[in-house]
A and B are shown apart, each in its own frame.
Chain A
């Protein structure tokens, strides 16, 4: 009898705990739905970084020539990770509202919805990063060296940060649908405040006499992540006689990754707490 009771409790727990199996099943669903009716399916996502590389090489290296050596590589090393952050945050924001039917009718841990959005964006990102590295292996050998270890802390920080954003925004979006629209604008501004299209040294030099303002600029977790990605893949602090990246060693990048990571963890705690607090009312508000 006690055993039966325990088994029943275990089965009850399986319905309220976050299970990896449920997460993978949801990510798999999102991927399947996205590519269901397209002939080339997944190839589109993979081709995406290649097309960007081709266009940017044509525009910036051949036509405009902004003087930054191998600019497309610099751009892509920051842009892909930004895309991950952007996709995870935006699809995470709509994840609870978008699954209203499920939330109103079925008992399951709601938190898997934003988490699976992050997982969905993560799968895309890792595949695209893989494609980028393969292409670079052909045209940009500089990328391959010990500096690639910077990818590990950089990806860890952006994963935590994106999860925090998805949790926070998805919960708030249930009550205030403005969040989704607001975030779209914020992310656009945020994109330009992050050194993706321009080298971070431009900002450093412009703010040379206001070092605290530059530190504030660097405290943006995405700036820490993007510059670390650039150091890992683009590699060169100085290229073609121009300073591109702020430091040659890893210390600078690790420091700002640490700052960004701390901010991300605080935000994650806030997101988790907010989600837990608001989720009881989800079924009612939808």
Chain B
């Protein structure tokens, strides 16, 4: 293995809890005694050595410390304990287009952002055209960024970040934004970086992506490294941790003093009857039952995954409080299901409303079916096909250039 480019030794990060933090002098004086006594350890004793050229997938449940770890490695947050050593230029894609100024044009922002990321003006000039071409923003580069669409904004941010020729790429779920073609472009770029010997560490919730592009997988849970090694195993470890894998025997280990998921029920809100199949556009409701110590509270999250494992939307409830009998039910309603046919999965999670720590999580692989004939695709789209008048030979040649028509 080549010399390590990232060495983290015994890294711990403690955050002071928000309500304990003094943000004004008055509070500081009042809170003086207790202000530093309480904290929340987002990372505990994390040791990682990442060699040059490795691609590491960093996965874990929400609130497990993934983003914090990336921030510590990229030098944005200082570790409370332990040390971090990094060799080379880091491009951290924590948020694309962070530091863009809406008043400036795309061109001006490229120079500004590149300077912040450590590039000289000459280096920026050299790769300017590539950046603009990659972002597909040639006609708009002299417009003010505040007039950009969110897609254009993100593309420009990504383009600048990957053109600073980093030695280390830290990616935080940015692949989740943008349309499919942009995501493909990002993945292509990542593959290109891999070939060039760049070290990549990326956080993702797309577990199938980890074995596909990573040489190594790291699972974090409650700020600690649970698994470090084979990426397929890492994805499986996390699935079983989330209760979404085939084997759910690990679930018995959940502590009894926390709220747990007890059951769920899908039904038609109009009739109140249980239902396993719906049509696009129909209404649907899900009841989620919780159990646990009376008086405890938990927020429920329902993530809906559509056919082909594409996460579609996420529903978060307000914190629910368990009644004296130790149970509670939260009802989620969906007014109109999307016009996408096929098998849907639900991922349910219970979280501590204050800290976001996951109490319990479960995945229902084949939760319900959106019925319809999928032989012609999963999407209902209004479309038309008409024969049009064919233009003459000459005219067609001219029109081809104008309308972007190409030979089959």
Interfacial residues, chain A to chain B (CB-CB below 8 A): 5, 8-9, 11-12, 14-16, 19, 21-22, 25-26, 29, 32-33, 36-37, 99, 101-108, 175-178, 280-281, 283-285
Contact = CB atoms under 8 A, between A and B. Distances in A.
B115 A22 contact: yes
A82 to B, nearest CB: 27
Given A101-B98, A105-B98, A280 B78 contact: yes
A12 B23 CA distance: 33
A29 B23 contact: no
Given A5-B87, A29-B101, A16 B76 contact: no
Contact of A33 (B104, B115, B116, B167): B104
A8 B28 contact: no
Contacts of B374: none
B267 interface: no
B104 A106 contact: no
Given A26-B115, A32-B103, A102-B98, 7 more contacts: A11-B89, A21-B115, A29-B112, A37-B103, A106-B117, A107-B74, A283-B76
Contacts of A21: 115, 120-121
Nearest to B13: A284
Q: Which of A25, A36, A37, A108 has the most CB of B within 10 A?
A: A25
Main secondary structure on B side of the interface with A: loop
Contacts of A285: 21
Contacts of A280: 77-78
Contact of A284 (B77, B95, B117, B119): B77
B222 interface: no
Q: Which of A29, A37, A104, A281 has the most CB of B within 10 A?
A: A29
A283 B98 CA distance: 13
B75 interface: yes
Contacts of B26: 178
Contacts of B23: 175-177
A193 B91 CA distance: 49
Nearest to B121: A21
B3 interface: yes
Contacts of B98: 101-102, 104-106
A106 B3 contact: no
Interface residues of B, number: 41
27 contacts: A8-B5, A8-B87, A11-B88, A12-B87, A12-B88, A15-B89, A15-B90, A25-B111, A25-B115, A26-B112, A32-B108, A36-B104, A103-B76, A105-B95, A108-B117, A108-B118, A175-B23, A175-B28, A176-B24, A176-B28, A177-B24, A178-B24, A280-B78, A283-B76, A283-B77, A284-B15, A284-B77
Contacts of A178: 24-26
B71 interface: yes
A107 B88 contact: no
Interface string B358-377: 00000000000000000000
A36 B103 contact: yes
Nearest to A9: B87
Interface string B108-144: 1001100111111100000000000000000000001
B93 to A, nearest CB: 9
B1 to A, nearest CB: 13
Per CB-CB distance, the 8 closest pairs between chain A and chain B, nearest first, are: A280-B78, A11-B89, A105-B98, A8-B88, A15-B118, A25-B115, A14-B118, A102-B99
B286 interface: no
Contacts of A12: 86-90, 167
Contacts of B111: 25
Contacts of B285: none
Q: Which of A16, A22, A101, A104 has the most CB of B within 10 A?
A: A22
Contacts of A9: 87-88
Given A21-B120, A177-B24, A178-B25, A105 B76 contact: yes
